Amino acid sequence: MIRITLAQLNPTLGDMSGNVARMVQAAQQARQDDADVIVFPELSLCGYSPGDWLEDPAFLARIDSGLEALRQASRQMRDLVWVIGLPLPRTGPGKPLHNGLVVLKAGEELLRYAKQLLPTYNIFDERRHFEPGPDVAPVLKVGDTRIGLLICEDGWNDDGEDYELNPFERLQAAAPDLLVSLNASPSDVGKRALRHQVFTQASRRHGLPLLYVNQVGGQDQLVFDGASFAVEPQAGVVYEAQRFTEHVQTLAFADGRFSLLDGQRPAAIDPVGLSTQAFYRAQIVLGLRDYARRCGFSRALVGCSGGIDSAVTLALAAETLGAEQVVAITLPSRYSSTGSVTDSVALCRNLGVKLIELPIAPMVSSAETAYREATGLALQGVAAENLQARIRGLMLMAYSNQEGHLLLTTGNKSEIAVGYCTLYGDTNGGLGLIGDLYKTEVFALARHLNDSAGYPLIPEAILDKPPSADRR
């Protein structure tokens, strides 16, 4: 029997000392569980995806220092094997780095492996910085157990459609007892089910159990959901870690089967998982929480129009940071309806959020007069309408700068896709919570928030009103 700890951690990009501290803490928990091996996610030492930081010698030097700190920590836990994801230096033609892993025990390096399949699609551009690893089958022997190692994309080509190499086949030929995959797989609707499908099929095809260890947390525009899991060829997915939170779990492995430390089989896996709206909610909350924390913000600001987009954004901000840490500002103009203000008041009362009313009509009038006196021309049409949006953006950014609040933009994907927004106006802000949601999805998420609350947290008047920019 062997005991393996899955360390589903939330690394901070570039914070090597902080990431090392998290890894050591997880290793201490593994040691308490009498684990033989602890496995960390892909590039867990520096965080994924480091991008052009990999061009910075100081960044790479901090990675080296972090690895040395982990080497020293492993000397204090002599019986524990550490499997660590990190960039590895290389020489020769091509890129100077591999996306790789190092295996440590008692301060000694047992094995190095470089990821063979490098994705260059969607949000991935690994060939920009990394060279593919050689065609090898890395197998780590721990006691009597042979563990084959993969890094993320290595495990996604078992059908052979995307790359010539199939690391699964190479590893099967090396006769391991199980496979372990280190991952930094961003979340998306349906991604959990797709992972289960791909790796269950591969496990069955090759007759090999598999552990899938994933990163969790928000890294700027990316969110990683964790959801690490264990697969058996016959039973399929038999264990899954929590989603959208750090989770350190030790599993026992013997005779091709996984169990908990008390000998019991893990609880049955929910094949459906979260609803789409619950998934969006969890992903946005985690993404905002990590973005704010890592950028040094504890408070947020939302321009509240009385419409659905700002209402959903405000509700999610209050849930994430706490209502007392969020401020809403309503900025009515001479074209604003009474409902723009009254609905904002009702929403903020429900959420417990402070609301500031800042009328912009005097500022718009002054700007129009100044423009006319300087040019002899009157602002008309779209230019006059956009002036209002830009003054709103100006006031929101002024409050953000003065009070140290993170301004959240409120545009949805439908509006962004067709350019229905005002540059330097409602596009102002540091983060857009609903920028990946179509307008229909924003409405569905609002209904979900109300259903979860058990009452109209977002007033029905907001849900029922037609969209309006309040500019004419």
How far, in Å, CA of 394 to CA of 27, rounded?
A: 49
Assign 3-class secondary structure to 112-170. Answer: EEECCCCCCCCCCCHHHCECCCCCCCCEEEECCEEEEEEEHHHHCCCCCCCCCCCHHHH
* Residue in 139, 247, 227 with CA at minimum distance from that of residue 183: 227
The whole-number pLDDT of residue 273 equals 85
Domains 2-273 and 278-464 share a fold: no
- Number of Cα atoms under 13 Å in the Cβ half of residue 297: 25
Indicate the pTM of the whole model: 0.94
How far, in Å, CA of 183 to CA of 51, rounded?
A: 16
- Inform me whether the pLDDT recorded for 267 exceeds 90: no
Q: Does the domain formed by 278-464 have CATH 3.40.50.620?
A: yes
pLDDT per residue over 88-113, tens digit each?
999 999 999 999 999 999 999 999 99
pLDDT per residue over 34-92, tens digit each?
999 999 999 999 999 999 999 999 999 999 999 999 999 999 999 999 999 999 999 99
* Residue in 422, 419, 471, 412 with CA at minimum distance from that of residue 443: 412
Query: What b/e readout covers 38-48, taking b as 16+ CB neighbours within 10 angstroms?
Result: bbbbbbbbbbb
Quote the tokens at residue 174.
Answer: 């090396």
- Inform me whether the pLDDT recorded for 116 exceeds 80: yes
CB 330 within 8 A of CB 425: no
Q: What mean pLDDT do residues 395-417 have?
A: 97
Long-range contacts of 164-172 (CB under 8 A, 24+ apart): 165/116, 165/117, 165/135, 167/116, 167/117, 167/137, 168/202, 168/205, 168/206, 169/206, 170/135, 170/136, 170/137, 171/137, 171/138, 171/139, 171/206, 171/208, 172/206, 172/207, 172/208
How far, in Å, CA of 161 to CA of 166, rounded?
A: 10
C-alpha 278: how far from chain center: 15
By DSSP bridging, strand 2-8 and strand 247-254 are: antiparallel
Higher pLDDT, 465 or 362: 362
Neighbours of 208 (CB within 10 A): 21
Residue type, 243: R
- Inform me whether the pLDDT recorded for 471 exceeds 60: no
Q: Catalytic positions, please?
A: 42, 115, 152
pLDDT per residue over 141-199, tens digit each?
999 999 999 999 999 999 888 899 999 999 999 999 999 999 999 999 999 999 999 99
* Residue partners of 101: CB distance under 8 A and separation at least 6: 83, 84, 85, 86, 112, 113, 149, 151, 182
Mean pLDDT, all residues of the chain: 96
Q: Is 308 exposed, middle or buried (0-12, 13-18, 19+ CB in 10 A)?
A: buried
List beta partners, residue 384: none
Quote the tokens at residue 221.
Answer: 């525009």
Domain 2-273 adopts which CATH fold? Nitrilase/N-carbamoyl-D-aminoacid amidohydrolase (3.60.110)
- Inform me whether the pLDDT recorded for 424 exceeds 80: yes
Q: Where in the chain are the domains?
A: 2-273, 278-464
pLDDT band per the 50, 70, 90 thresholds, residue 327: very high
